[in-house]
Amino acid sequence: MSDIRFDNRVAIVTGAGVGLGRSHALGLAARGAKVVVNDLGVSRDGTGTSSDAALSVVDEIKAMGGEAMAHGADVSDDDAVKDMIAEAMDAWGRIDICVNNAGILMDKTFAKMEMAAFRKVVDVHLIGSANVAHACWPIMRAQKYGRVVLTSSASGLYGNFGQSNYGAAKAAMLGLMNILHMEGARDNIRVNVLAPTAATRMTADLLPEAAQELLAPETITPGLLYLVSEDAPSQMILGAGAGSYAETRVYETQGITLIGGENTPEAVAARFEEIRDPHDQQQLGDAFGQTKKYALNAAKAKGLKLDW
DSSP 3-state assignment of 100? strand
Q: Which residues, in sequence order, are bridge partners of residue 7?
A: none
Amino acid sitting at position 162:
G
- Per the CB < 8 A criterion, the answer to whether 21 and 99 are in contact is yes
Smallest distance from ligand NAD to CB 220, Å = 9
Q: Does the protein bind ligand NAD through residue 198 (CB under 6 A)?
A: yes
Sheet holding 244-248, edge to edge: 68-71, 34-38, 10-13, 97-100, 146-151, 189-196, 237-241, 244-248
Q: Which residue, 121 or 145, has its beta carbon nearer to ligand NAD? A: 121
Smallest distance from ligand NAD to CB 199, Å = 7
Give one DSSP letter per residue of 153-189, joined into a string. -HHHHH--TTBHHHHHHHHHHHHHHHHHHHHHGGGTE
Give the residue at shortest CB distance from ligand NAD: 19
Region of 38-46, 55-63, 113-121, 173-181 interacting with ligand NAD (CB under 6 A): 38-46
294 is catalytic: no
Q: Which residue, 139 or 193, has its beta carbon nearer to ligand NAD? A: 193
The contact mask relative to ligand NAD for 39-58 (x = CB under 6 A, - = no) is xxxx-x-x------x-----
Q: Which residue, 102 or 136, has its beta carbon nearer to ligand NAD? A: 102
Distance CA 57, CA 66 (A): 11
Give the count of residues interacting with ligand NAD (CB under 6 A).
Answer: 33
**How big, in percent rounded to 5, are the helix, strand and coil portions of the chain?**
45, 15, 40
Residues of this chain that bind ligand NAD (CB under 6 A): 14-15, 17-21, 38-42, 44, 46, 53, 74-76, 101-104, 124, 128, 151, 153, 196-198, 200-203
